[in-house]
């Protein structure tokens, strides 16, 4: 019962129709002085030889040789298999088909040859080779195309799973930092805490429910960025922080969620937290029909705590992996560091 459950009836039906098509193709070329019965019987056997050669090549020889990078063994096995099928077909013609339908083979190239002559005739081999292989080439192309589609589907599923893993790594990292800000304000019993909770709820709504897709509208990403900036402004006094966010959105394009936010988060984390004087952050986001351009520049703290640790680079590494998956060969990331400033430029081709 298990064997029958594993049978792909749809695939069997397709192959049956495939060979039936060739039978009708041969029969349609029948001359008027030939009978249908002998034509159908003869070509049923010939198609059986084509199918035997084809399935042996596609499902046995190629998986065991070519797929395992054994090219020489593939060539030897293919020609050996062809010759075996060719020899069986010649023998079958000689002892069964020709005696049964003598008039059918009058014009056939090897009609007057003996068995040894047929099995060693290069002209006959060449003719039968073309006959046996052309349906196999079509079947092989169909089989190859189906495998490519399956590989593409698996690649897409792998890509989707990898993106989910990366986002699951990024979201807790982002939420932890935001909750940390809220915790600091509650300890101080700051009146800004309710506003922080309101902004945080909007951010949570986006992170947990709206950024599960690979791409979101750039307007939603801007709203997230503005909420995050408000949270950071509430955390620091005006004499500690100077933030300017400019936008030039000509086209409401789509963008991968949280990609830009990671750079902004790093700017606040490394440009403001350790700064004893006033920190400056400048953000610019542009969007047109061709690309999205993001630029962020922040001043570097002038103290010994300004060095970025390896652990703090996890977010940037995560973003780079997401860019490679979502924008393959369609993104350009430039990171520039001087003694006083840290600048990131991101170009995304649409």
User: Is the pLDDT confidence value at 4 over 50?
Assistant: no
More confident residue, 295 or 123: 295
Share of the chain above pLDDT 90, in %: 8
Q: Could you give the C-alpha distances from 224 to 48, 49, 112, 230, in angstroms and in order?
A: 66, 66, 85, 10
Least confident range from 131-140, 242-251, 281-290: namely 131-140
| pLDDT number for residue 5 | 46
Count helices and strands in the chain by DSSP H and E runs: 12, 7
**Cα–Cα distance for residue pair 135/139, rounded to 1 Å:** 6
* Higher-pLDDT residue of 178, 240: 240
Burial 56-80 (b: 16+ CB within 10 A, else e): bbbeebbeebbeeeeeeebeebbee
pLDDT of 292: 93
Pairing relation of β-strands 279-287 and 241-249? parallel
Phi-psi region of 298 (alpha: psi -120 to 50; beta: other; left: phi over 0): beta
SS3 221: helix
pLDDT at 168 over 80: no
Question: Which structure tokens are listed for 37?
Answer: 């019965």
Q: What pLDDT does 30 receive?
A: 63
The answer on pLDDT for 326 being more than 90 is no
């Amino acid at each position: 019962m298990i064997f029958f459950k594993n049978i792909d009836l749809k695939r069997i039906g397709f192959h049956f129709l495939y060979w039936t098509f060739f039978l009708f193709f041969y029969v349609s070329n029948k001359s008027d002085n030939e009978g249908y019965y002998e034509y159908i019987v003869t070509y049923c056997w010939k198609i059986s030889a084509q199918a035997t050669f084809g399935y042996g090549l596609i499902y046995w020889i190629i998986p065991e040789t070519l797929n395992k990078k054994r090219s020489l063994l593939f060539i030897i096995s293919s020609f050996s298999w062809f010759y075996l099928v060719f020899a069986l077909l010649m023998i079958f013609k000689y002892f069964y088909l020709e005696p049964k339908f003598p008039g059918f083979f009058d014009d056939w190239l090897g009609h007057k040859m003996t068995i040894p002559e047929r099995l060693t005739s290069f002209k006959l081999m060449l003719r039968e080779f073309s006959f046996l292989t052309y349906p196999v080439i079509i079947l092989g192309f169909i089989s190859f195309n189906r495998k490519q589609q399956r590989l593409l589907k698996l690649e897409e599923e792998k890509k989707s799973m990898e993106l989910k893993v990366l986002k699951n790594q990024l979201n807790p990292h982002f939420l932890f930092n935001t909750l940390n800000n809220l915790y600091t304000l509650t300890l101080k019993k700051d009146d800004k805490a309710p506003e922080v909770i309101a902004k945080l709820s909007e951010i949570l709504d986006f992170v947990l429910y709206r950024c599960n897709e690979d791409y979101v509208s750039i307007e939603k990403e801007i709203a997230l960025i503005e909420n995050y900036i408000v949270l950071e402004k509430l955390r620091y006094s005006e004499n500690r922080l100077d933030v300017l966010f400019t936008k030039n959105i000509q086209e409401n394009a789509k963008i991968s969620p949280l990609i830009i936010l990671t750079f902004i988060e790093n700017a606040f984390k490394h440009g403001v937290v350790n700064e004893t004087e006033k920190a400056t952050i400048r953000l610019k986001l542009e969007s047109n029909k061709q690309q999205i351009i993001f630029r962020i520049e922040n001043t570097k703290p002038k103290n010994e705590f300004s060095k970025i640790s390896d652990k703090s680079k996890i977010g940037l590494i995560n973003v780079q992996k997401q860019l490679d998956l979502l924008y393959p060969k369609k993104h350009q990331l430039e990171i520039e560091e001087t003694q006083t400033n840290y600048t990131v430029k991101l170009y995304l081709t649409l």
